[in-house]
Amino acid sequence: MNRNFLATCFGASLAIYARLVYATSTVVIGAEDDWAPYSSAPRQHAQGFAVDVVREAFALAGVQVEFRALPYSRCMAETRTGQLTACFDAVPNSLIRPHYLWPRMPLFSTRMNIYARSGSIQRGLRAKDLEGHTVGVQRDYEYGEEFDVNTRIRRRVVDKNEYGFRMLMANRIEYMAAEERIANALFRSKPGEFAGRFTLVGTVATPDLFIAFSKTAPGSSEMLERFNQGYDRLLNSPRYKQIENRWFK
For residue 11, the model assigns a pLDDT of 43
Give the pLDDT means over successive 10-residue stretches in the chain (249 positions): 42 40 77 94 93 98 97 96 98 95 97 97 97 96 94 97 97 97 94 97 97 98 98 97 94
Longest dimension (CA), the chain: 88
- In the chain, the N- to C-terminal Cα span, in Å, equals 64
3-state secondary structure at position 198 = strand
For residue 43, the model assigns a pLDDT of 84
Give pLDDT tens digits for 198-238: 999 999 999 999 999 999 999 999 999 999 999 999 999 99
**Phi and psi at residue 220, in whole multiples of 5°?**
-65, -35
For residue 13, the model assigns a pLDDT of 41
Distance CA 36, CA 241 (A): 18
DSSP string, 161-224: HHHHHHHHHTTSSSEEEEEHHHHHHHHHHSHHHHTTSEEEEEEEE--EEEEEEPSSSTTHHHHH
Distance CA 27, CA 198 (A): 41
For residue 3, the model assigns a pLDDT of 41
For residue 24, the model assigns a pLDDT of 58
CA–chain centroid gap for 172, Å, is 28
Question: Residue 94 in contact with residue 38, Cβ under 8 Å?
Answer: no
